[in-house]
Amino acid sequence: DIQMTQSPSILSASVGDRVTITCRASQSISRWLAWYQQKSGKAPNLLISKASSLERGVPSRFSGSGSGTEFTLTISSLQPDDFATYYCQHFHSYPLTFGGGTKVEIK
């Protein structure tokens, strides 16, 4: 199975900060990666697919990059609505697996 490792697990930041979350795969997954945002008590919401394709309706302050084994999700200017937990997910092969999550907290 492909292991997905996110860092950091918790990130404290302020409104307006630039935030970067890293996701590493245990083997190359090309660009077969998605990012989700999950707010407390809610289902996840797709932000980005294929490493960098922004889902329709997702604010442009979100961006994704990377290929192979290392990927990043960047929020260019953190907004109050962005405080949540973020998960990466590969879809290179079965089983599909997720990273452990990064909780973005208010500093």
Partner 1 sequence: QVQLVQSGAEVKKPGASVKLSCKASGYTFTHYYIHWVRQAPGQGLEWMGWITPYSGDTKYAQNFQGRVTMTRDTSISTAYMELSRLTSDDTAMYYCARDRDVVIPPAAPYNWFAPWGPGTLVTVSP
Binding residues for partner 1, per CB under 8 A?
A: 34, 36, 42-46, 49, 55, 87, 89, 91, 94-101
Minimum CB distance to partner 1 smaller for 76 or for 101: 101
Burial class (CB within 10 angstroms; exposed 0-12, middle 13-18, buried 19+) of 81: exposed
Q: Output the smallest distance, CB 13 to partner 1, in A.
A: 21
Q: Compute the least distance from the CB of residue 44 to partner 1, in Å.
A: 6
Nearer to partner 1, 4 or 19 (CB): 4
Nearest Cα to 92, choosing from 37, 48, 14, 26?
A: 26
| Minimum CB distance to partner 1, residue 34 (Å) | 4
Nearer to partner 1, 36 or 71 (CB): 36
